[in-house]
Every structure is written in C-alpha cells, then in structure tokens.
Structure 1
Amino acid sequence: MRRLLAVVVGAALLLINPIPAAAPASAGPIVRVAEFLADCPFSHRLPDDPIVFPNLPGASHMHSFFGSTVTNASSTVDDLMNANSNCNPSIDKSSYWIPTLYVDNMSVEPTTGVFYYLGEGVRDDLIAQTQPLPVGLRIVAGNAKATGPSDNTISRWSCLHAGHVGSSPDFVTCPAGTMLESYLDFPHCWDGRNLDSPDHKSHMSYPVNNACPSTHPVVVPKLRQVMRYPVSGDPSRFRLASGRGYTMHGDFFNAWPAAEMARRVNDCIRPIIKCGTDGRP
C-alpha cells in the first residue's frame, strides 16, 4: 500500500510542481502539506449559539462571528447557504464563532480569522481516503466550561513573532510589538451518520495513534482555527466571554457547497498538496 501511494502522490506532485531529479544535498527534506484555507474577517457579535442554543436568542455568552454575515440563534444550513459571506473565498458560506475577547472590559476582535482545512494527524494512506465535510455538519472544539488549564488541552495561546514565549492553554504575556494568538484544532474523525449530536461532540472524535477509531471511521479535513488579536502585555487584563483563557472554544457550521468541498478535498487534501484560498496549488 505504501509503495502504491508513493506512486500516486508523486505523480500528482510532478504534474503541479516538478521536482529536479537531483536536488542539492543542502536542500533538506521536501515538506508535504495537505491544505486549503478560508480567510474570514470578523462579521458581528451576538449572545447567540445556533448549535448549543438553537432558537434561543440571547441564551449564550457573547460570541464573535466570522464568515456568514447573518448567523444568529435561529440559523439553519439553508439560511447560511443563501446568505452572504465575508470569507475569502466567498463561496464558503460557513459560519464560525468564538467567545468574544475582552481587554480591560472592552471587546477586542481579531485582526484576522484564518481557517485552515488540513490533511494531518492520520497516516498518509488514511489522508488519501479523506471524505468531504458534509453540508450541515456542526463541530464544536475546546471546552467552554473548563475550570482549569488541564480541562482544555486542545486550545493554545501564543504570541506572534515571539516564539520564545511558548504556548499555553491559558493567556500568555506577549511582549510589546507582538500579537496574542489563539490556535484551536477541531476533531476530524466523523461517525459517518450524524451531522450533530445531543452533546454536540460525540459524533466527532480526534484520531488515536494516527488513525480514526472504529466508532468514528470517516476521516474528514481537520479544521484549524487561528485568531490574532492586536493586544499584548499583562494577561490579567484579558478575559473571554466564557471565562479564563482556557475556556477558549470554537464552533463550526459547515455551509460549503458540496461540489466545491469535494473538489478541494480531491485536489488538495488527498494528494497532500498545499493550496490557497482558491483551492489551487
């Protein structure tokens, strides 16, 4: 299987980015990245959550929404697919939301919200079997009810251009001239049946030992949410609408057109090719 995949993947790469027959010894290993992305600015704020509190406006803590410009407590997949999106590419009608960040009790929004769709976390032969995210799939990552850093090991905070600071489940102190960053990886093993579940998590799973568990056998692209905030300094001034930094979480309501999602999975994820917002190398 490994030999066959090497031929198939290699052929795909040669068609797009030919590799010299003899690379210089100093060139180092070839980095293979399976990726496409959506760059979605902040759209609006509401105390709504159409996944956790559907049809209950005001029932949630404050959320900052990205992508679809119409998301509210009553949003359905049809609402999203028939509305405008501020994403690049605009064909991504999905909605993404996070708890609002407050600095000195003033709301602060990210300068950018980038959503990477990745093929990683499982073996290459399983990446080659990645299935498109189904229309209407809802995924929640992180723990809004975390009571300490150990309750949320998925969400990480760090500083842009300050790698020496390191990352942490809770807020970090960023030096002047840098930006506070939040990274969050969503689960990407699906049960293959349910677009949501009563706890909004059990229909999805993270990989185990570089493979999806038998209860969640379908590999889908891994969503990675990256937020960069124009703030630095003492983190005691920061809070999320949900609480401390370790309560960071993200919600995703998939409204990519099915054909476009399938094309990007086929062209970028399965052959392990790095694509841009247009879904092309």
Structure 2
Amino acid sequence: MGRTNRKRRSTLANRAIAASAALALGGGGLLAANIYASAGEGKNSTQNAQTTAAGVATIKCPDVGQQLTDVPRGARAGVDKELAKLDQQVTEAYKRLADTRQAQAGDSSYVNNAILSPLKSKRTATIDRINNSIKRKGGKAPQGADQLAGCEGVPADQPAAGEGQGGNGQDQGQDNGQDQGQDQGNGQDQGQDQGNGGQDGNGPAAADFQDITQVQPTGGAKGVGPNGLPANGDSGSTGTFTTNCGTNENENRNSDNVIVAPGVSNGAQHQHDYVGNQDNDAFASDQDLAAADTSCQNQGDKSSYFWPVLRVQDGQDDIDANAPGGGQDGNVGTILQASEAQLKFVGNQKSDVVAMPTALRIITGDAKSFVNGLANANTNWSCTGFEDRQLTDKYPICPEGSSVVRTTNFQSCWDGQNIDSANHRTHVSFVQADGTCGNGFQAIPQLQVRLVYDVDAPQIQNGQVQNAFAVDSFPDQLHKPITDHNDFINFFDENTMNQVVDCINSGQDCQ
C-alpha cells in the first residue's frame, strides 16, 4: 500500500489524475501569462484593482474550514469532502484568472463577472451542503453563508504577508529584510513590476527572497504562537527524545492530506514528503496506519511526519510534471530531498508532559496563509551557520557553503480528550506567555522538525529571481514562503510513547 519507490509514486499519480480530472484545464501548462508581469503593468490605473487584469494577482476566499467548531463525528467525512471541493473551486477560478489576461485587459468587469461571481455561486451551494450535513447530525453550522461564499481579487501590490507580525522578535528581521531587498533592486514593487523567476508563472517572485547575512539576529526558531515562545526551557521537563526516520530515501510522496481531506485524492493540491509511516495517503484508516511499515529506526514509532516538498525551479520535469498536485497545480521543477531531517520531542518549561494519545493529529502552520493572514502561520526559514537569524515571510539566500534550513516547532498543549477537532486546530495549542498550558490543556511532548537542503542560492538580477526554489503550495498561494506547514499523526506504540515521556520528564536525552 505504501509508496516506497518512484514506480509506485507514478501509479498513485495516475490514480490521482483519474480522480481529479475535473481540475485539468486541457493539455497545456497551468498559466498562459506571467501573473506578476501582467499584474504590474498598470499599477497606477484608476480602475478598480479588484476587477482589472493589471491589479489582480490571485483570489482570496474566506477559509470555511477554520470557521467550523461544531461538526458531529457522523458529519465530518462528508464535510471534509465538501471543504476539498471549495479548494478545487478556488483553484479552478485561479487558473481561469491566469489564463484570461487578454480578456481581462479589454474588460474592466471581466474578473468580477466571469470569475468571482460564478465562484461565489458554486461556493454558496457547497457551503449550503456543509451546513445541511452539520445540522442533520445535530451540530451547529456557522452563520452567514453569503459572507463565507464571497471572494475577492488580491491586488499585486498588497503588503507582504509578514508585515506587522510581532511578539517574537520577527519584526526587526523582516523589516531589515524588506529594506535590504529594496536596496538591491528586488523589493516587493520592483519584483512584481518586472516579473519573477517562477518556472510556471505563479511564483515565487524576487521579493520572496532575502540575503540571510543582511538579517538581524532574531534568537533562533520560535515555537510559534501569539507569544512566540518555544515550549521547553531550563526548568520543568528538560529531556529530549530524538527519532531517526530518514530523509524520505523511499521517495514516498503524494498530494493527499488524510488529516484535512480524508478520502479525497489530491486533497492537498501539492506534494508532501512522508517519513515514518509508509502507508499515509488519503484513504488510510487508523487501522492501516497502525499496521504499516515505518522508515524510523525505532520500529515502535509508526508515526507519520509529512511536509510540502521543496523544489528548485530549474526547468526540469519531475515525475509529477503532468499530474494533479504537480504540474497541473503549478508545482514544477525538480523535487529536492532533504540532506537532514531531525525529528526531536522536547518538554515543557513549567511541568511534566503526558503521553500523546494514539492517532493524535497536529497541523502547524497554514498552507493558505498568504490569503488567510497570519493567525495560524508558523514558519522559520534560515541557513546553516545563521540559525540565530530566522525569516518568516522570505526564503533565505544562503552564502556559499551554507544550506537552507526549515524549522517547525509544533503545538505542545492538548485538550486531554480529542485526537482531532472540526477545524483540526482547537484540540491543541501553543504554550502561554508564562510557559504553561491554558484552558485546562495538558502539556505533551513538543515535536520539533529541522530540515536541511543543499541547494544553490538563487540570484536576483534586474528585479527577477533566477534559480529559484520554493515549497509546493495551493496554486492561488503563489508559492509564498509564509505558506510552509507541517503535519504529524502519532502512532508510537504504548511502550515507546512511555519511554518518550519518561526521558523528557527525567531530563534525559534519548533516541
């Protein structure tokens, strides 16, 4: 069942093509025009930026899934499939936006009339089905379907997603990065006016990259909630447990997400790397995952660890070039395998930790944060030798001899009851400012993931980025670094989980 080689991956890609044929828009590439180039041509136009080709870079829709707090278990499977349809509808509308630049240039009302209005109608019908499913099972549906259904065009010159972020030392680094980028001729406006190096036209842009040597120290990767604090410290439970699960040498990848879109092929619309559990796809049950093989050296750890792949946009086709989740969704170029993948669990500043329940699901970061905003964003980009300097809304340009680093620290407080929640977030949380868990939550081992990639540094020339790299993303997210995210499903066996807890609570460093 698990994908353990490229041949297996190809078979799954073919299955995804059949299951997601509705997403294909003919045999051509994703984009007919460079979005940022066309978006910048008429920036000073007096026409409405929401309805002109010159002003609209992508589409922003309310994230319905994050509004769902009362979905009865009997309704969740159906609701998750409808939520995946909402994602597909946005993708289809985004592709239409990208493919109709000429028509938009001649008609200032084209985007509203031909793209946003039909999208709202489709979303209204889908949200109605979600609400009805919830009500039939005794739950309470969110109010205001009209407000949730309506979408808007995002102008190309909107502020960078990371602006205004505070509370964790990130403002200084981001402000410095933005100023430095503008000095070098690759600021937000210039990069968008002059186009970008995105191989398929939907990003990344020059303004998405920052020379790490020009960033002020920020104190290292954060852990990251409203307070920006890591979970552990020099008191409380100070031990660690490290599990070695490899770097996905098996090339076990798919574009599913069994947490947010179970039963939906290509539910993520971008490829994930999987380490640990080898049977994670959209159709895997908890029983399947519990019985699966694992890439972890400790065979008591069958947990699933997965994150979006990193690609270099080198003009080369990878195995998924013509498949959903790959080229059909704007994710192009050679997939990079991490040179290091460190998976470490740490304790809590103030208390002992308790065992995670089997099948606990945790998502950290937000794959849609470019349009959703920063409420759930959790990104840390840096370079080896410079990890006291972290970027949140920029990809790092590392000096020679230094490698790209992605660091993710997960939520470490659990409600003590649920292995998941309707919006996949409210059953877990980050620690409070004083290091404790609020709302009666219990401290659990905090997963910290550190990924290292050996990749040539991008070059910024005349406001364009050459040799760009980027994480896979939903097409409408334009491959922004702020959309990085990470996923975990706990399938440690009971004895091994007890060992994790004992090591952490007793201050030992175990593996």
| TM-score, length basis structure 2 | 0.45
Are 1:161 and 2:385 counterparts?
Answer: yes
Q: Identify the residue that residue 472 of structure 2 maps to in structure 1.
A: 241
Q: Deviations over 1:173-194 (max 9, x none)?
A: 1112221111001101000111
Runs of 5+ in structure 1 lacking a partner? 1-29
Q: Identify the residue that residue 210 of structure 1 maps to in structure 2.
A: 435
Q: Secondary structure at the match of 2:370?
A: coil
After superposition, residues 249-268 of structure 1 pair within 5 angstroms as 249-266=485-502, 268=503
Contact 1:146 1:247 in 2 (8 A): yes
Query: Where has structure 1 moved over 6 Å in runs of 4 or more?
Result: none
Match of 1:113 among 323, 326, 341: 341
Q: Deviations over 1:11-41 (max 9, x none)?
A: xxxxxxxxxxxxxxxxxxx999410011222
Q: Identify the residue that residue 57 of structure 1 maps to in structure 2.
A: 265
Contact 1:149 1:246 in 2 (8 A): no
Q: Identify the residue that residue 132 of structure 2 maps to in structure 1.
A: none
Q: Deviations over 1:217-264 (max 9, x none)?
A: 211000001111111412850111112211110010111001210122
Q: Identify the residue that residue 243 of structure 2 maps to in structure 1.
A: 38
Q: Identify the residue that residue 229 of structure 1 maps to in structure 2.
A: 453
- What RMSD, in angstroms, separates the aligned Cα atoms of the two structures? 2.1
Contact 1:175 1:232 in 2 (8 A): no
Are 1:273 and 2:504 counterparts?
Answer: no
After superposition, residues 93-112 of structure 1 pair within 5 angstroms as 93-104=302-313, 105-112=333-340
Q: Which of the pair is proportionally richer in strand?
A: 1
Q: Identify the residue that residue 27 of structure 1 maps to in structure 2.
A: none
Partners of 1:189 and 1:45 lie apart in 2 by 29
Q: Identify the residue that residue 24 of structure 1 maps to in structure 2.
A: none
Query: Highest relative contact order (Cα 8 Å, sep 6+), 1 or 2?
Result: 1
Q: Identify the residue that residue 360 of structure 2 maps to in structure 1.
A: 137
Q: Which of the pair is proportionally richer in helix?
A: 2
Contact 2:378 2:484 in 1 (8 A): no
Q: Deviations over 1:32-80 (max 9, x none)?
A: 9410011222141101111011011122121111111121111222212
Alignment: residue pair count: 239
Contact 2:413 2:443 in 1 (8 A): yes
Deviates more, 1:79-88 or 1:140-149: 140-149
Contact 1:178 1:232 in 2 (8 A): no
Larger radius of gyration: 2
Task: Tell me the CA shift for residue 142 of structure 1.
Answer: 0.8
Task: Tell me the CA shift for residue 147 of structure 1.
Answer: 1.3
- The amino acid of 1:244's aligned partner reads K
- The amino acid of 1:50's aligned partner reads V
Match of 1:66 among 269, 275, 279: 275
Q: Deviations over 1:74-108 (max 9, x none)?
A: 12222122111111223210111101111112211
Runs of 5+ in structure 2 lacking a partner? 1-233, 314-332, 460-464, 474-478
- The amino acid of 1:206's aligned partner reads F
Contact 2:238 2:505 in 1 (8 A): no
Q: Secondary structure at the match of 1:75?
A: coil
Partners of 2:399 and 2:304 lie apart in 1 by 32
- The amino acid of 2:488's aligned partner reads F
Partners of 2:266 and 2:372 lie apart in 1 by 28
Task: Tell me the CA shift for residue 115 of structure 1.
Answer: 1.0
Task: Tell me the CA shift for residue 134 of structure 1.
Answer: 0.8
Match of 1:47 among 255, 271, 294: 255
Q: Secondary structure at the match of 1:175?
A: coil
Partners of 2:446 and 2:295 lie apart in 1 by 21
